[in-house]
Amino acid sequence: MSSTVRNNDELYNRHYNILHTRMKQFSKSIGATSGEVLFLGSFVLNFMLGKLIHVFSSQEAVYNYYNDKRNILNQFFVKKGWAWTTVVIVVFYILILRSKHPKVQSQQEKIRLLRNGLIKYSIMTFWWVLFTQWCFGLPIMDKVFVWTGGKCQKVAEKELLRHFPGALKDKFFSPSSDGESFEASSITSYTCRKLKGAWTGGHDPSGHVFLLVHSSLYLFLETSQFWGSWPSFFGSARNLCGKLRRVPADQSAEPKSKLAQVVDFFHGTPHFIVFLLLSLWWFMLLMTNIYFHSLAEKLVGLLFAYAGALLVYYLPRYLGSSRIST
């Protein structure tokens, strides 16, 4: 080996060790594993990547199918994002309980797992509700918007009368200064959209960033306790592809149907379904980061999403509580 290559190797190893040690120190100081730090950091990376693509790509690359709000991934998946996250976590738990995982063998362990899972799911759902749906009135994201001067403007009288008949109209709306439309500062962004109004004038935290990061953190932190390793994960996936392509040698024997093989695969690799949804969420987050909202509005969505995970997963670790940690 030449001395230049050896020197490069040594330099590489030294830098790798420094990085590794720093990472471990940082993880330890915040009570997270290295994998968790990487996962949490991946959303900041997504954020920066989105900005770089927005700034450096051509117009055709930036404005395409995915910046259309009506695209199927947005309407069918993200807009029902918490429902999909719920379905995936329920399927994951069913698969784990049926897979005889070493961590859940006895009846007691199963009950404990379900009880802790339900508590964490309820708190995470409540946090999602507070931020995006309802928080003793407007949800937090709409409260922030109104508190910073935002309003639902340019609502046509025709639309208003269709949705707010009689006295309700006067309770929530007042005529705009242009005299041609109405405005309100105590209705939700959802209602404003239904009235075809303009949601403008305030700081509007991104609900998409919040939902996608919140759901991803929940799925990751909830399922990582059962994670094996990347080689076994990819090994199982390769194995399934091989089996699906192979023609059985003994044609007379009853072959296992392809569907049965896929079902077997999901039983043996319950993380696969989580992996699929996490990949979709990461991709959709990148689309949001490229096309929508200001940097500050996306940052606020991100911080509120981190706050939920900190409260449910890291605070108990920090306090040394074993009540809801598994």
Residues of this chain that bind ligand LIPTDI7V (CB under 6 A): 78-83, 86-87, 89-90, 93, 114, 117-118, 121, 132, 189-190, 207-208, 211
Question: Does 208 sit near ligand A3P (CB under 6 A)?
Answer: yes
Residue 105 CB, shortest distance to ligand LIPTDI7V, in Å, is 17
Residue 141 CB, shortest distance to ligand LIPTDI7V, in Å, is 7
Site size toward ligand A3P (CB under 6 A) is 14
Any catalytic annotation for residue 214? Answer: no
The DSSP string of 16-35 is HHHHHHHHHHHHHHHT--HH
Letter for the amino acid at 162?
A: R
Q: CA-to-CA distance for 244 and 32, rounded, in angstroms?
A: 39
Residue 3 CB, shortest distance to ligand LIPTDI7V, in Å, is 57
What order do you get walking across the sheet with 198-200 strand by strand? 174-175, 182-184, 151-155, 198-200
Question: Does 207 sit near ligand A3P (CB under 6 A)?
Answer: yes
Instruction: Please name the residue ranges forming H helices in 104-206.
Output: 107-128, 140-147, 157-163, 167-172, 189-194
Q: Which does 287 bind (CB under 5 to 8 A by kind): ligand LIPTDI7V, ligand A3P, none?
A: ligand A3P
Residue nearer to ligand LIPTDI7V on the CB measure, 37 or 306: 306
What six digits make up the tokens of 2?
Answer: 């030449």
Q: CA-to-CA distance for 130 and 297, rounded, in angstroms?
A: 17
Question: Does 153 sit near ligand A3P (CB under 6 A)?
Answer: no
Residue nearer to ligand LIPTDI7V on the CB measure, 104 or 160: 104
Letter for the amino acid at 262?
A: V
Question: Does 292 sit near ligand A3P (CB under 6 A)?
Answer: yes
Among residues 101, 208, 267, 271, the one annotated as catalytic is 208
| Phi, then psi, of 323 in degrees rounded to 5 | -70, -45
Residues 218 and 124 sit within 8 Å (Cβ to Cβ): yes
Residue nearer to ligand LIPTDI7V on the CB measure, 117 or 150: 117
Residue 176 CB, shortest distance to ligand LIPTDI7V, in Å, is 22
Site for ligand A3P in 187-206 (CB under 6 A): 193, 206
Any catalytic annotation for residue 208? Answer: yes
Letter for the amino acid at 226?
A: F
Q: Which does 71 bind (CB under 5 to 8 A by kind): ligand LIPTDI7V, ligand A3P, none?
A: ligand A3P
b/e string for 226-245 if b means 16 or more Cβ within 10 A?
Answer: beeeeeeeeebeeebeeeee
Q: CA-to-CA distance for 49 and 29, rounded, in angstroms?
A: 27
Residue nearer to ligand LIPTDI7V on the CB measure, 20 or 80: 80
Residue 183 CB, shortest distance to ligand LIPTDI7V, in Å, is 18
User: What are the Cα distances from residue 5, in Å, to 8, 14, 17, 46?
Assistant: 5, 14, 18, 34
Question: Does 81 sit near ligand A3P (CB under 6 A)?
Answer: no
Question: SS3 of 255, please?
Answer: coil
Residue 81 CB, shortest distance to ligand LIPTDI7V, in Å, is 5
Q: CA-to-CA distance for 314 and 321, rounded, in angstroms?
A: 10
Question: Does 293 sit near ligand A3P (CB under 6 A)?
Answer: yes
Letter for the amino acid at 117?
A: G
Q: Under the rule (CB under 6 A), what is the footprint of ligand A3P?
A: 66, 69, 71, 74, 193, 206-209, 284, 287-288, 292-293
The residues that are catalytic are 208, 293
